[in-house]
A = this chain, B = another copy of it.
Amino acid sequence: MNPVAELFQIEHPIVQGGMVWCSGWKLASAVSNAGALGLLGSGSMNPQLLEEHIIKCKNATSKPFGVNIPLLYPHAKDHIETCIRNGIKIVFTSAGNPDTYTALLKSHGIIVVHVIANSKFAIKAQNAGVDAIVAEGFEAGGHNGREETSTFCLIPQIKKIASVPLIAAGGIYDGKSWLAAQILGADAVQLGSRFAACEESSAHTNYKDTVRQATEGSTQLTLKKLTPVRMLKNAFYQQIANAENSGSSAETLKEILGKGRSKKGILEGDLEEGEMEIGQVSALIEKPETASQIIQDLLQTYQKAKENLYV
């Protein structure tokens, strides 16, 4: 059996990435009901809202689902406690130190997965006792690593030192990229962007429409003086890019960024002033689809890609 499917007790080794303003109970439960692993993205929730989503998600699916917790977010500690109190069995941690909460989570019997973008943090996560790692390449949307290592180069690199199951993220769109990631060394794949644009995502229609219209070069990794983020190149991005090109300091960039930019872009659909986080695969996303249709398409195109190798 696939080690990631076995770990999470799911049918297909596919994970829906936890994403701010996109992955609430509707998306996570739809993905889990389709036989993959749905994740609640707690990065855009306060602990009370997270608890509501956990309860709703439990009512909507009897299958395993998890919670993603970005460790640098102000509510991280409360989120961890909320997960423990509500009997969550799978937690993905990201954007922070895997030492901080792994032991605590494990002591409550929770499966812990940490998201990394380089070998250094993969080793750190493994030493902290995580059960699996997600290696996320440069092409992924949202927060991203400073080394800018692409999935093609990152997965073989991490595979060399991986002692736990490895989940590839960044650039995964269909069964072809799933199979390609597997060949490079991944046991499973995590998709963010394609689920961010699907029907059950809680993102605004404007955001989903814009993602479907995106083409090559529509996204850019930016805000490198703060924390690198990949986003669509809209008016807000251009303001950041202009400031960066003229040598603005981190402080000035923080001022331009302000508060609530991703909420404005993703949840409220402000196409000009919002931060529209999405990965490079947005160029391949073209039509509206449900989470279940995405999983079905992944399974079918994976099978076809495998068969095509022997035509």
Contacts and interface: CB of A to CB of B under 8 A. Distances in A.
Nearest to A224: B245
A156 B173 contact: yes
A283 interface: yes
Contact of A247 (B170, B179, B182, B247): B247
Contacts of A177: 152, 156, 184
Contacts of A248: 247
A179 B170 CA distance: 18
B217 A147 contact: yes
Interface in A106-147: 118-119, 137-139, 146-147
Contacts of A118: 216-217
A295 interface: no
A151 interface: yes
B183 A305 contact: yes
Interface in A221-252: 221, 225, 245-248
Nearest to A151: B152
18 contacts: A118-B217, A139-B152, A146-B217, A147-B217, A149-B217, A150-B150, A150-B152, A151-B152, A153-B283, A153-B284, A156-B284, A177-B184, A179-B309, A180-B183, A180-B184, A183-B305, A245-B247, A306-B309
